[in-house]
Amino acid sequence: MTLSKQDERLLLRALDGLATPAERAMLEARASDDPKLDRAWQDAQRLLQHLNQLPTLVPAADLVAQAWVDYQKPREARRIWPWLLVPVAAGLAILGTWLGFDTAEAPVVLTVARPALPRPALLTARGPVWLTTAAGHHEAMPGAAVGSGDMLATAAAAEATLQLAYASVTLTEHSALQLDELSERLPKVTLNKGVVQITVQEAQPTPVLEVHLNGLKEHVFIQTGAVGIVQPQVGVATVACLTGHVRVVIGTQSLQVEAGQEITLRSAQTPKLGPSAPNLTLVVEALGKPAHDGRLTLRGHTQPGVELRVGSVLVPVATDGSFVYVWRPEPTERTVLLAARDALNRRQQRQASWPAPSRASPKVAPGETEWEWAPKVPG
Amino acid sequence: MPDELREGVPQDAWERAQLARAQKGDAQAFGDVLKRYQTRIYSLVRRLVARPAEAQELTQEVFLQAFKSQARFDPNRPFRPWLYRIAVNVCQNHRRHASRRELAQPPLDHLTPLWGALPATPEQAAVHQDDAQRLETYLLRLKPSDRELLLLRFWEELDYAELVRIYHLPQTVLKMRVHRALNTLRQWVEGGRS
């Protein structure tokens, strides 16, 4: 079906919304006389409608947030590179002395500006992260500036990292962190619930963060390294030190927690150091027999925020620590291994087993004879 | 999520306010505006490259370039052509580096997710889906540059003034290219039907 050049031009201009009313009227008049043109016009309109209605496709991840993280990387590198000049200058000075130059008479003056400290801001946000400020409550995006008095909270399966002057604070899911005072010298935050991990970029001569634990009178000074703080319930908290050291202050008493150690803090009313943190809870509550279709239901509980695997499958844990897993094991399988791991890398394992399914008697169709096999008795 | 953050809600006043905040150094405001365009940019890029993972990488690159170029954005000019200009540049660079064979023959899995959400009554569903599928197939046969232009004009509904800002080409040239691509597509659809 070939249109004349004039009809084709008219049709394309009309499709593109460029035709004048007179041109459009001409096209419609010609189409009413020419079935070929009419068909082409109808088809072209339908084509444009389909083109306009192509579905929107949703990416599997938050690409803006990932781009923000990528954008931050070279900025951090730019902040670090001036410091690299210090050893270079020192090397030059030593070399100059070794070669016999009198550096005192011909001083090389090298001024290295202290890199600007990053402003407190949300560095990454995975899943719903909420920021409450004086202005209101809204979902926080990476790059969001935060200030004293704000509160950050993470929803289920979410994680957020807050960049402070010398440390970053990562909140795992279902955590809430009150930003009491974000001074450059010693920011103060209160962990209302959940788990945070604090990482200090480089060792500092003085503490860089003061963490208060809701429901406890103690507070924790963070000076170096990475620290995980677990607060499973109000009144009890666990502080684990992964690298460096942490100073915990209780009234006038001060205790240093070294790398690899953890302590449990108990009770708001009578602050005292508790024993070492308890083991990770992992309890299998119920595991019945396989159902008629071979499926098996496993119930149990552990601690919130724990990564739980049953066999090789990652099983979600509810906010109260409970979990349910339904699967169809192989006919020969009788046991399964449960492995739990928390944010402090504490691990716990349990093995659950179930009896073999009872052998169902074969169904006999009407009219058929059921045979019973009996062993032959000798003699 | 506040209403104004929902995608597809044309709230230019909100966008202007966010961009004004971004000019003052509020990175979140700029991120909010980018997030509003996330699925649109991804959908466009996804129709221009073969694999979903590739589309995600390129879309992320578009936003990374946007963050890097944020300081150069003139708030007195429209934001949408500025962002789409970045997207077009990223896709063109990608095409330059990708092998010709790969672009000419995208794998069939490229097609499958693209015609899922078309509106149709149960009676007309078969015909409608057939037409839509045929359109997606013919779109893939177009040169990527023509495909990109048609999608920007008729799917994104950018006007020619915006296309001029994106391509830095005269309107007459752009109209000629759009009409040529549209006519090719129209003739393929007609040929496929007859």
Domain limit, last residue, from A240, A275, A310:
A275
Does A243 share its domain with A128? yes
Instruction: State which residue of chain A sits closest to B178, comparing Cα positions.
Output: A16
- Of A99-103, A123-127, A231-235, A310-314, give the range with the top mean pLDDT: A310-314
Domain limit, last residue, from A275, A309, A328:
A275
**CB count, 10 Å around CB of A173?**
21
Does A175 share its domain with A191? yes
Give rounded-to-5 percent helix, strand, coil for chain B. Answer: 75, 0, 25
Q: Give residue for tokens 């908290």.
A: A237
How far is the C-alpha of A318 from the C-alpha of A301, rounded, in Å? 9
Does A129 share its domain with A270? yes
Whether B154 sits inside 8 A of A60 (CB atoms) is: no
Chain A contact present for B118, CB below 8 A:
yes
Residue B82: predicted pLDDT: 92
A364 falls within a domain: no
How far is the C-alpha of A52 from the C-alpha of B155, rounded, in Å? 5
Structure letter (DSSP) for residue A321? S
Does A271 share its domain with A131? yes
pLDDT digit string, tens, across residues A22-37: 998 999 899 998 888 9
Q: Give residue for tokens 């349910």.
A: A324
- Which residues on chain A are in Cβ contact (under 8 Å) with B61? 67
pLDDT band at B3 (very low <50, low <70, confident <90, very high): very low
Does A156 share its domain with A257? yes
Whether A43 sits inside 8 A of B190 (CB atoms) is: yes
Give CA angle at A181 (A176, A185), nearest 5°: 125
**pLDDT cut 90: percent of chain B above it:** 30
Q: At what angle do helices B12-23 and B27-36 cross, to 10 degrees?
A: 150
Inter-residue contact A121 to A141 (CB < 8 Å): no
pLDDT digit string, tens, across residues A35-65: 889 988 888 888 888 888 888 888 877 888 8
Rounded to two decimals, the pTM is 0.46
Does A84 share its domain with A148? no
pLDDT digit string, tens, across residues A198-229: 887 666 667 778 887 766 656 677 766 667 77
How far is the C-alpha of B127 from the C-alpha of B142, rounded, in Å? 23
Does A131 share its domain with A267? yes
Number of helices followed by number of strands (H, E) in chain A? 4, 23
Residue A77: predicted pLDDT: 53
Chain B contact present for A83, CB below 8 A:
no
Whether A67 sits inside 8 A of B66 (CB atoms) is: yes
Whether A55 sits inside 8 A of B114 (CB atoms) is: yes
A361 falls within a domain: no
A287 falls within a domain: yes
Chain B contact present for A65, CB below 8 A:
yes
CATH number at residue A182: 2.60.120.1440
A379 falls within a domain: no
Does A132 share its domain with A213? yes
* A94 burial type by CB count under 10 A (0-12 exposed, 13-18 middle, 19+ buried): exposed
A294 falls within a domain: yes
Who among A44, A62, A122 is closest to B186 (CB)? A44
Quick check: A231 pLDDT over 70? Answer: no
Quick check: B114 pLDDT over 50? Answer: no
Domain that holds residue A29: 5-99
ipTM score of complex: 0.80
- Which residues on chain B are in Cβ contact (under 8 Å) with A46? 131
Does A158 share its domain with A247? yes
- Which residues on chain A are in Cβ contact (under 8 Å) with B150? 51
Structure letter (DSSP) for residue A145? B
A69 falls within a domain: yes
Does A232 share its domain with A327? no
pLDDT band at A116 (very low <50, low <70, confident <90, very high): very low
- Which residues on chain B are in Cβ contact (under 8 Å) with A8? 183
Reference A57, options B155, B40, B147; nearest CA is B40
A115 falls within a domain: no
Chain A contact present for B113, CB below 8 A:
yes
Provide the number of structural domains found in chain A.
3
Please name each of the domains of chain B with its CATH number: 1-106 (1.10.1740.10)
Does A136 share its domain with A262? yes
